[in-house]
Amino acid sequence: MSDGGGLRTRTDGGRTLVHDPVRRRWVALTPEEGVRQRLLVDLLGLGYPAGLLAVERGVPYGGKTWRADVVAYGRDQRPALLAECKAPGVPITQATFDQLARYNAVLAAPVLVVDNGAARYCCVAGPSGWTFVEAIPEFGAGT
């Protein structure tokens, strides 16, 4: 079954599952997972190969291992994009960007995305710092 937004869903034991094309398995469709899966569908549509995407990738920082929601790698195997997803209704605040910055201190991705389903922000590293852009760049366009 499809939800009309490119997601494959099914019901199992009364709970809704969504097929994750990156992890290649069915996962519980929580509000945050729905945002993450829609972002993955968009990234695949922008040419990001599924084989170069990682979901909930471990990021060691400050003596702990955190989990980045989505990391897209370039053909050179270096992080090209880092995304943090929040459930709809969870506001995107400075703390959200700070969380992404901590992860990116380790990963050094040139494209950062924050998404809560209602708002999506994307910024790209440039010679004079970070610049917000209207849309996520296609794969290979500076990634």
Q: What mean pLDDT do residues 41-53 have?
A: 97
Name the pLDDT band for 6 (thresholds 50, 70, 90). Answer: confident
pLDDT mean over 37-48: 97
pLDDT at 140: 87
The DSSP 8-state label assigned to residue 110 in this structure reads S
Mean pLDDT of the chain: 93
Virtual torsion, Cα 23, 92, 121, 55, nearest 10 deg: -10
What are the residues whose beta carbons fall under 8 Å from the beta carbon of 97, sequence distance 6 or more? 114
The confidence score (pLDDT) of residue 74 equals 96
The residues spanned by each domain of the chain are 30-133
pLDDT at 83: 98
Domain at 30-133: CATH architecture: Alpha-Beta Complex (3.90)
pLDDT, position 22: 95
Task: Say what the pTM is.
Answer: 0.91
Q: What is the pLDDT of residue 61?
A: 86
CA dist 19 and 100 (Å) reads 25
* Confidence grade of residue 4 (pLDDT, cut at 50, 70, 90): low
Tell me the per-residue pLDDT of 74-111, one tens digit each, with 9 for 90 and over.
999 999 999 999 999 999 999 999 999 999 999 999 99
φ, ψ of residue 128 to 5 degrees: the values are: -105, 15
